[in-house]
Amino acid sequence: MDDSKNIEGLFKRYFDNQCSPDEIRLLLQHFNAGENEDLLRSLIREQSNLIQDAPFISDESSKPLLDTVFRKIQNAIAVDNKIRQITVLPFYRNSWFRACAAATIILIISTTTYYFLHKSNETVFALKQTPIHQAKDIPPGTNNAVLTLGNGTTIMLDSAANGTLAQQGNTDVQKTNGQIAYRKTDMEMNTKPVYNTITTANGNQYQLILTDGSKVWLNAASSIRFPTAFTGDERKVEITGEAYFEVAKDVTKPFRVEFDNQAGGKGEVEVLGTHFNINAYPDEPNSKTTLLEGSVKIKNANSTQMLSPGQQALLSPAGISFKKDIDVSQVVAWKDGYFVFDNVDIHTLMRQVQRWYDVDVSFDGKISEDGYTGKISRDVPLSKFLHVLELNDVHIKTEGRKVVIMP
């Protein structure tokens, strides 16, 4: 059998989810060669026309798709062997994209439908995975938090009805459409500042609007402590975990966010009005402040530095360091409902899994230091997330809410 027949058979095996990772790489290498473009065109058309309700793909209409396919293939060949592509997204109903998705060869195989996505002028083909077998699946995190009022009373926000939940000083606490908003009343009360705290557990996230109109998104395992009304010459809040801020501009009152850093002291971000993200989980190697727009001042016990949009400040026991040209959409993807990984190690990846799915993750034996790159919806159950990892040569054992990663 000649080489083209072998490749045709291999392509059909891939489309039927029967290829090994080594066979997928062979396809990548074969179709990276320019002289094989006609064969790839033919295979895409053939496979698409085998799908019920799929439109016929002509040479003219297939060209832009094939151009994208070849770019994706060439990029995949250039990527270091240690970088594995993982992508799971809500599916697109037009099933004829299956053939084009198959040709991109993103090192994942599935029998279900595919999704067509545009991001940063780059066409991405993705797929939705079939879950691994699990007696009882674990759902993704939900929109929930605990509100602690100034007198210590706690309110579970997922079960609280819409409307006014409490009055704190001259401020009403209102719940609307799954978020909390603090609204000043017309009453004048000479009282000391009242502090509230909103806390998310593992598997929860929440959003609130402060009395000045600033918006805050809390990721899982996070908290924010804040006054119900900003008095004096500053607006100051304290957080743990991760939070994204869209601060209302007020040149007369700087907005300050205080958090614990890995050096054992306090970190502080000071702004007038801007958008930024703070990741200050205690189990991460450093605290990260990422600026999306405006400017911020980042402080620790020893120094003060300014950040510009697209920059990230890292606070660690060694001091403050900086990264430039950060993909800010990746940093705040959690707020928009996605995990986005860019060459991250399995330990970093699984810390996010642990917080969002409220599971206990452990590692048994020497685990590969390979990096993982990809985008996965935070709406998928745990089984689907783990299935993607398994297709990328990660060995996993689950028992209830325990997840063990093995060599």
pLDDT score recorded for residue 26: 75
Convert the pLDDT of each residue in 142-183 to its tens digit. Answer: 999 999 999 999 999 999 999 999 999 889 999 998 899 999
Q: Are strands 360-363 and 171-176 parallel, antiparallel or unpaired?
A: unpaired
pLDDT score recorded for residue 266: 86
Low-confidence ranges of the chain (pLDDT < 70): 1-4, 14-22, 24-25, 28-29, 31-37, 40-41, 44-135, 187-191, 262-264
The structural domains of the chain, with segments of one domain joined by +, span 3-127, 143-330, 337-406
Q: Give the global pTM.
A: 0.73
Burial call 56-79: b when 16+ CB within 10 Å, e when fewer: ebeeeebeebbebbbebbeebeee
pLDDT score recorded for residue 3: 67
Return the CATH number of 143-330, one of 1.10.150.120, 2.40.70.10, 2.60.120.1440, 2.60.120.620: 2.60.120.1440
CB atoms within 10 A of CB 125: 24
CATH number for the domain running over 337-406:
3.55.50.30
Convert the pLDDT of each residue in 300-331 to its tens digit. Answer: 877 888 999 999 999 887 778 999 999 999 99
Handedness of CA 382, 384, 387, 389 (dihedral sign): negative
d(CA 22, CA 12): 15
